[in-house]
Amino acid sequence: MADFDLDAYFARIGYGGPATPNLETLAAVQAAQVAAIPFENLNPLMGLPVNLDPESLQAKLVKSRRGGYCFELNGLFKAALKAMDFQVTGLAGRVRWMAAADAPLGGRSHMLLKVDLAEGPYLADAGFGAHLLDAPLKLQADIEQSTPWARYRLTDAGDALTLYVRMADEWRSVYLFNLEPQLAADYETYSWFTATHPRSLFVNYLIAERLTETARYNLVNTRIVERGRDGSAVERTVSSAAELGEVLDAVFNIEPPDSADAVFAKLNAAAS
């Protein structure tokens, strides 16, 4: 993306460090992006298009107070890393979050990145909205990796890798993927299905997440949970359109594409 505005991106995520393509920079930029640019699916929820072209990504995620879902967030992340001369490959995953171990595989509905560094290949992901990752992970199976927020491991089944995160006393599967590079056309296809299928989560539920240095914020429809690093959790229910607007503004730094009244009405209609 030759016309990527790296300075504007750095200003948006509050990053003032070097642009050297190494592990330290990769980790710092990923943490800064997930803290500043939230996961949110307001466009699919409100029947608006999701545009993945470079200009649209920068206009929505950098120049506006908006977030996006994985194809947007990791599309932007990939463009920023390329502008810093990282060696980046776009991959695709099949989401396993909350799925039973014997549940059939779903389609490729998640975008993630492989970044090749001097230390070897790393998994970088700033867009998994069910559980945002705060740091890149070494792309190596059967080792436990700790970040400031969680413990992870990868397993290798020969034709695919599965990412797991430790939740309480169990390992929970996140997504399954292989190392086949994806084209922009692949992501357009995956994203169109995810944003328009009538049974898609993103068409029927409001989902938002933001991960800062001190708290993880999750919103599903009108239920918001704030989690601390110590495992504490505070949950409450958003009871009005005005309160929803305040939450989107103050907690997630989102200016919705439609009024908070319209978003709240959409949620009430879906629940009825």
> Which residue in the block uniquely carries the two structure tokens 């107070």?
65
Annotation says 110 is catalytic: yes
Angle between helices 23-36 and 6-13 (to 10 degrees): 60
- With tokens 């997504």, the residue in question is 175
Side-chain half-sphere CA neighbours of 155 within 13 A: 10
Based on the number of CB atoms within 10 Å of its own CB, is 72 exposed (0-12), middle (13-18) or buried (19 or more)?
A: buried
Residues composing the chain: 272
Of the candidates 7, 70, 116, 186, the residue annotated as catalytic is 70
What gap in Å lies between CA 225 and CA 233, rounded to an integer? 7
Contact 79, 245 (CB under 8 A): no
H-only helix segments in the chain: 6-13, 23-36, 42-45, 54-57, 70-83, 184-196, 201-204, 241-246, 260-271
Helix axes 23-36 and 70-83, enclosed angle (nearest 10):
140
* 131 counts as catalytic: no
| Contact assessment for residue 88 and residue 102, using Cβ atoms and an 8 Å cutoff | no
Catalytic annotation, pick one of 5, 7, 110, 116: 110
- Is 197 considered catalytic here? no
Our CA angle for 143, 144, 150, nearest 5°, is 155
> Other C-beta atoms within 10 Å of 194: how many?
23
- What does DSSP assign to residue 61? I
Among residues 7, 125, 142, 197, the one annotated as catalytic is 125
Which residues are identified as catalytic? 70, 110, 125
